[in-house]
Amino acid sequence: MSYDVVNALLDALIGGLHDYTIDERGDVGSWVRIACMQGLTEISDLLFRVFEHKSRANNESIAGELGQYLPYEKFHAIVAGVLKQGVERLDNVRQEAGESFMKLLDMTSPEGVGLEQWRLHGLGLLSELFRT
């Protein structure tokens, strides 16, 4: 799959975090936001695992290639979007935001030259605060 397709998918899912649609069925935007959090978390984890494996297999830096598929700015936007959902008024949205954020914290960030940009700032403190 090309990085353009992956980036378009990520952009659509990040955009879905801003869906507050209400219709005769109720708050359908919350369903969209929940699905987007789940998708963003799983895609991020998959990309990290694939590129970590590739880095270990080839013993080379994968920062440039990972940056094409998941730019670090986009990854940080994903984390920020999930955190924003953590203060929503709906319990099920907050619950999913917490679960997604914990998965983001537990992800194995790729190791290597140039990959520190994907690490969450204050990761140790965040892990400590959210695990107590």
In this predicted model, what pLDDT tens digit does every residue of 43-99 receive, in sequence order? 999 999 988 888 777 767 777 889 999 999 999 999 999 999 999 999 999 999 999
Domain count, the chain: 1
Given this model, what pLDDT does residue 128 score?
78
Q: How far apart, in Å, are the Cα atoms of 22 and each of 19, 27, 94? A: 9, 4, 18
Q: pLDDT confidence of 129, banded at 50, 70, 90?
A: confident
DSSP, collapsed to helix, strand or coil, labels residue 26 as: strand
Structural domain including 72 reads 3-131
Given this model, what pLDDT does residue 31 score?
97
Percent of the chain predicted with pLDDT > 70: 95
